[in-house]
Amino acid sequence: MANTETALKEASTSIEGVIGAALVDYTSGMALGTLGGSKDLDLSVAAAGNTDVVRAKLRTMEMLGLKDEIEDILISLGSQYHLIRLIKGRNNNGLFLYLALDKGRANLAMARHQLARIEANLDV
C-alpha cells in the first residue's frame, strides 16, 4: 500500500505529461499532499476549486436519484487535461486524486488507467 507521498511521486513518474498532482480532501477543500505545479498552476487553488466541481457533481447525482459512483471527472482545456479520480474504499471517503496533464504529451487513456492503479494501492 502506498502513502500519499509515494502515490504522488508514482503519478508524476509513471504518467506521461504530468504538470502537477495532488491528493485532496473534498470535505474541507484542502490538499493533503501536492507534487509539481508551476507559477501558472497553484495546486492549493486547484484543490479548492476542484472540490467545488466534485461537490456539485455529487449534488447533481443526488438530485437526479442516480445510485452510482463517480470514477473520474475530466476537464479538457485547450492545452491541458485536468483529471479528478475519487478515492473509494478503506476509509478514504471524501478524498480525490487530481492530475493536471500537458495535453500535447499526455495519453489520456493511459493516464486514467495508471491513476486507477495508483488509487487502488493508496492507503491514507
- In the structure grid, which three cell numbers stand for residue 74, read together? 475530466
In this structure, what are the phi and psi dihedrals at residue 97, rounded to the nearest 5 degrees? -95, 135
In our burial notation (b when 16+ CB lie closer than 10 A, e otherwise), range 11-32 reads beeebebbbbbbbbbbeebebe
Residues 6+ apart with CB under 8 A from 78: 103
Domain that holds residue 14: 4-121
Residues 6+ apart with CB under 8 A from 75: 53, 81, 82, 83, 84
Count the domains in the chain: 1
pLDDT band at 37 (very low <50, low <70, confident <90, very high): confident
pLDDT tens digits, 53-85: 999 999 999 999 999 999 999 999 999 999 999
- The CATH number of residue 47's host domain is 3.30.450.30
Write down the pTM of the prediction: 0.91
Q: Which amino acid is at 93?
A: N
